[in-house]
Structure 1
């Protein structure tokens, strides 16, 4: 049985059968940093804007449907205002 590691009281040996990883396997950038940063920032800003809009819509609908029982948490209204 080939175990990926052995754990004795004295040592921990990790068996790694793969080739050694060197800096030759590191990715080489092919775009200037500023243009790649601007593209990614625009995409992430769009994600942020859409998510804030969806959250606002969901909370507005929840309050409109009284899912949080906001009326039950408020103090009672005046008797004169109850029948309106």
Structure 2
């Protein structure tokens, strides 16, 4: 399963880890993804989402109905 937030679209960031000896190795910064179940009153059912913590803040701010409506317009399946 890919590490992408369904609400915000956040993906892993890529870069180099630099040691004390300045040897570089590849690494990636994962988004803080959580599995959450939200009740959507407009649809009368629960929706299970894989969202970042930033996405949870977006849902708290704008409401789950508005966020789900926007996600369906983008074509996100859940």
Q: Shared topology, TM-score over 0.5? A: no
Structure with greater helix percent:
1
After TM superposition, the score normalised by the length of structure 2 is: 0.20
Structure (1 or 2) with the larger CA radius of gyration: 1
The structure showing larger relative contact order (alpha-carbon pairs under 8 Å, at least 6 residues apart) is 2
Structure with greater strand percent:
2
After TM superposition, the score normalised by the length of structure 1 is: 0.20
